[in-house]
Amino acid sequence: MHTEHKVDDPPTMHDVDSPGAMFLVFLVVLGLAVANILLATTGLGKLALPVQLGIASVQAVLVAYYWMHMRRGDQVVTLSALSSLFFVFIFYVLVLSDVLTRWRIAM
**Contacts to another protein by CB under 8 A:** 10-13, 15-17, 19, 22-23, 25-26, 29-30, 33-34, 36-37, 39-49, 52-53, 55-56, 59-60, 63-64, 66-69, 74, 76-77, 80-81, 83-85, 87-88, 90-92, 94-104, 107
Helix H segments across the chain? 19-42, 48-62, 75-99
Question: Between residues 1 and 37, which has the closer beta carbon with respect to another protein?
Answer: 37
Question: Between residues 4 and 49, which has the closer beta carbon with respect to another protein?
Answer: 49
Distance CA 39, CA 61 (A): 20
The answer to whether 30 and 38 have CB atoms below 8 angstroms apart is no
Question: Between residues 2 and 83, which has the closer beta carbon with respect to another protein?
Answer: 83
Question: Between residues 6 and 49, which has the closer beta carbon with respect to another protein?
Answer: 49
Residue 58 CB, shortest distance to another protein, in Å, is: 10
Going from the C-alpha of 27 to that of each of 4, 6, 20, 45, the distances in angstroms are: 25, 30, 11, 27
The answer to whether 59 and 29 have CB atoms below 8 angstroms apart is yes
